[in-house]
Chains A and B, each alone.
Chain A
Amino acid sequence: ELKVEQNPLFLSMQEGKNYTIYCNYSTTSDRLYWYRQDPGKSLESLFVLLSNGAVKQEGRLMASLDTKARLSTLHITAAVHDLSATYFCAVDSGGGADGLTFGKGTHLIIQP
């Protein structure tokens, strides 16, 4: 059974600081997704990582994937309040377009 673990589950940080969220998964997969969820809202796709060594950046967020270590990271650079949200990583255990297995999410609060 595929398991996805995120840490930390809760993170409070100050604006301007850098931090990294980690996502470990238990079985072989080369498809990993990062989503953002604001309170009471649906999931917004941030990154799709499809191969070992993939790195994608959007604004202050950068995601990477190491399939050999079964690890993905979401790095936040010079955090701003607008990035406060819950971030989920999810893994596709099949050959694509299969059901995703999500981590429990990282609740991120960025304080001025």
Chain B
Amino acid sequence: GENVEQHPSTLSVQEGDSAVIKCTYSDSASNYFPWYKQELGKRPQLIIDIRSNVGEKKDQRIAVTLNKTAKHFSLHITETQPEDSAVYFCAASGNFGNEKLTFGTGTRLTIIP
């Protein structure tokens, strides 16, 4: 089955700086890679996702890049703000019978004012 590794487990950045979280996956058939943000005591919420037919996707301050050859994808947050503080989870899933999402172990991001 799919295995997703996520690094780092904790990350602290100064407000206004950029944050990068990296994930690797094991199943070359995986083709969908979402990122979820979970604030303290709240439900996980989708912030961005990417499919295997594109290499990069951007939504305002958030971007995700995908390298299918190397089987890794990354989340980039620019101009970080205090409200970006949360736990971020990457995930991967395939298709045709293997579309269950496998989540990474999470990254606790702290923005230092």
Q: Do A and B bind each other?
A: no
- Chain A interface residues toward B at CB < 8 A: none
